[in-house]
Structure 1
Amino acid sequence: MKLTAGHLTYCTNIHVGENWADHFNALKLSFPEIKQQLSPNAPMGIGLRLSNIASIELLQGDNLLQFKQWLQLQEAYVFTMNGFPYGGFHHTIVKDQVHAPDWTTDDRVAYTLRLFHILANLLPEGMAGGISTSPLSYRNWFKTAPALEAAKSDATKNILRIAAELNLIKQKTGIQLHLDIEPEPDGILETGREFINWFEQDLLLQGSVFFEQNYQIPAAESQKLIKDHVNLCYDVCHFAIGYEPHELVIEELTNKGIKVGKIQISAALKAKFDVSHTNKQTILAEFEKFNESTYLHQVIARLADGKLLRYPDLPDALTATDDAREWRAHFHVPVFSEDFGLVQSTQADIIKVLEIQMEKPFTDHLEVETYTWGVLPDSLKIPLTQSIIRELEWVKYKLTN
């Protein structure tokens, strides 16, 4: 739905199913009720997630035409997509495979280009569209510094191929599209600092050579082109896990002319340990309730001296003996709840980012992304459609009051 702060929607990666029929059926079952509750008298946007298989099937026969007709009947529109998970995302062990195939591969390029051509076909006239994606790859796959640098370089080249195609689409159709890189723990890019450094020291530098050699576009023009078509996906959960200062990160991005394609509104788990650690075992027992086998739940511990200690998954942290004062865990919990007993959420980080957005808007795409409903502890589960409505109502209230 269109608010003063931007277009607000939810990401459909919450729905089970990997083929187009499953995706479409889930939308037909849930979206009309959601729209009726939240935007009965005005069009409402959808944050569409398509697996690789679904993206292929959507382009077969008259599937795309049928979908466009359904969108029109529902007074719905697609303005953002989630191109991060390529394959299975529910009822399977995802873990680090959420990054596969990564940006070093042609498969990731082909999938993302297909999504952009679909999005260009679905976008309302005059609206820009974005697709969020993996932060290049999963860094723990690369065991040496040279291997990691090589992967970063290869991934950057492939992202420049996407930027070139998006530039051609804009020249031919006037449609503005952007790829939104989503830093997350243990990605090759996992922090705002790493994203900005990569953008300036790798993407822009390689891009100047790439566009000069392949398209005869001078450096100054190519840098503007890259900034138009490669943006940041500001996932609040991921930035909160790393204890990042939102105001400073967003201010630096703005000052450097690096655009934010969308805000993903999401919350992580957190808890503070007292100085004597007398509450540690009871808090760890609460974290244990969130220890499930589908997704990675990286933990970043903050020590007494402020240093950060990173664990690749919750089981690694639960068996560690750190002297942390605080833990933050990558588990997307409902954004409308802050208190889960002995553990809390990073809801305050969402409120801070939304306050910045309302005061000085830095994007017009806002997407709620809580995809863990199926693996939440039973005490936190409520019917999925009602969960979506409740999250969007909470965000809408924060943006309008």
Structure 2
Amino acid sequence: MRFRHPDGSTVHLAYCTNVHPAETLDGVLAQLRDHCEPVRKRLGRDRLGIGLWLARDAAHALVTDPAALRGLRAELDRRGLEVVTLNGFPYEGFGAEEVKYRVYKPDWADPERLDHTTSLARLLAGLLPDDVTDGTISTLPLAWRTAYDETRADKARAALVTLAERLDALRELTGRSIRIGLEPEPGCVVETTHDAIAPLTAIAHERIGVCVDTCHLATSFEDPDTALDALAAARVPVVKSQLSAALHAEHPADPAVREALAAFAEPRFLHQTRTTTPSGGRQGTDDLDEALADGGPLPA
């Protein structure tokens, strides 16, 4: 949906499709029919923005077949949908029975991540509505923190520089400006918005910035005003925001609270868990079941 900001600019709000598994182009088309169009109709809107997730196979099918891309755009128009942003974080298998750490592969040190994101940028340039010239893609925050050494950091930095050059070329070719946002997430190399400042100022390119996810912001106990002010002061652009929710337990020692939290521990996704320490720092686990374990690393 589109809203008019008091400064006169247009704000786009989109419904994210990665909550519905779809690895192929046929699966994406089914999403539009079974979920996105019904949501639009229920809201009573003529047009609904969607944050499209294209898995590797779906993206490959579209980037290698211009007719398929035109068909997807026609289907979007027919169902009253528009795309101004893509979720480029998951690469494939996001609907698998167990995702967990696999969602961070390939990371930005692997050539596959650069190739996939380049394809997504080309596709988004072709999917943007006629009256929209700017699009965004969210992506993983460099890599999961383990096994990430200086050699891999150099490769990731070089890949993002190459991506920025490709995005500049895409702008010259199509007139469409596509920007990429690293999405800080607990447990990753870039865990907080503060962690994003150093690598992004080293690149210092207007098309490479941050995607602020409100769940991740909350889980890291970051104050939104402070975080956004720091990014602005460092001239790191916020290219996208994702409005998602984190669970907060005020009294985690309460058995009823722990029982309620345990209902969210499941085998598909990681649920990173954090608490503050008396000194003002953070303690955490990679998953909720670790946090709830008897004698686990987090205080009751």
> Quick check: TM above 0.5?
yes
Per-residue CA shift, 1:47-106, capped at 9, x if unaligned?
Answer: 110000111122354221111111222332210000100010113211011011111111
The separation in 2 between residues aligned to 1:86 and 1:238, in whole angstroms, is: 19
Does residue 45 in structure 1 map to residue 49 in structure 2?
yes
* 1:75 equivalenced with 2:90 (yes/no): no
Please name the residue that 1:237 is paired with. 215
Distance in structure 1 (CA, Å) of the matches to 2:157 and 2:230: 22
Provide structure 2 residue ranges, at least 5 long, that are not aligned to the other structure. Answer: 6-10
Is residue 316 of structure 1 aligned with residue 284 of structure 2? Answer: no
2:244 paired with 1:266:
yes
Contact 1:304–1:323 under 8 Å retained in 2: no
> Counterpart in 2 of 1:54?
58
> Hey, what does 1:167 align to over in structure 2?
168
TM-score by length of 2: 0.91
Conservation of the 8 A alpha-carbon contact between 1:303 and 1:323: no
Could you tell me which residue of structure 2 aligns to residue 18 of structure 1? 23
Distance in 2 between residues matched to 1:288 and 1:272, nearest whole Å: 15
Counterpart of 2:8 in structure 1 is none
CA distance in 1, matches of 2:121, 2:289: 37
* 1:139 aligned onto 2:145: yes
2:121 pairs with one of 116, 120, 133:
116
Q: How far apart, CA to CA, are the structure 1 residues paired with 2:239 and 2:222?
A: 19
Contact 2:214 2:243 survives alignment (8 Å): yes
Structure showing greater relative contact order (alpha-carbon pairs closer than 8 Å, 6 or more residues apart): 1
Match runs of 1:385-400 below 5 Å: none
Calculate the TM-score normalised by the size of structure 1: 0.69
From 296, 301, 307, the counterpart of 2:275: 301
Q: Please, which of 126, 132, 135 is the counterpart of residue 129 of structure 1?
A: 135
Shift of 1:33: 1.8
CA deviation string 1:7-30 (max 9, x = no partner): 111111011221110111121122
Partner of 1:177: 178
**Pair 1:288 & 2:292 matched:** no
Displacement of 1:321 in angstroms is 5.3
Identity %: 31
Match of 2:70 in 1: 65
Structure with the largest fraction of helix: 1
- The answer on whether the counterparts of 1:152 and 1:188 sit within 8 Å (CA) in structure 2 is no
CA contact (8 A) 2:183 2:212 kept: yes
Provide the aligned length of Structure 1 versus Structure 2.
291
User: Counterpart of 1:3?
Assistant: 3
- CA pair 21-272 structure 1, distance change in 2 beyond 3 A: same
Q: Deviations over 1:301-350 (max 9, x none)?
A: 223343311211112211215335xxxxxxxxxxxxxxxxxxxxxxxxxx
Contact 2:285 2:291 in 1 (8 A): yes
SS for the counterpart of 1:272 is: coil
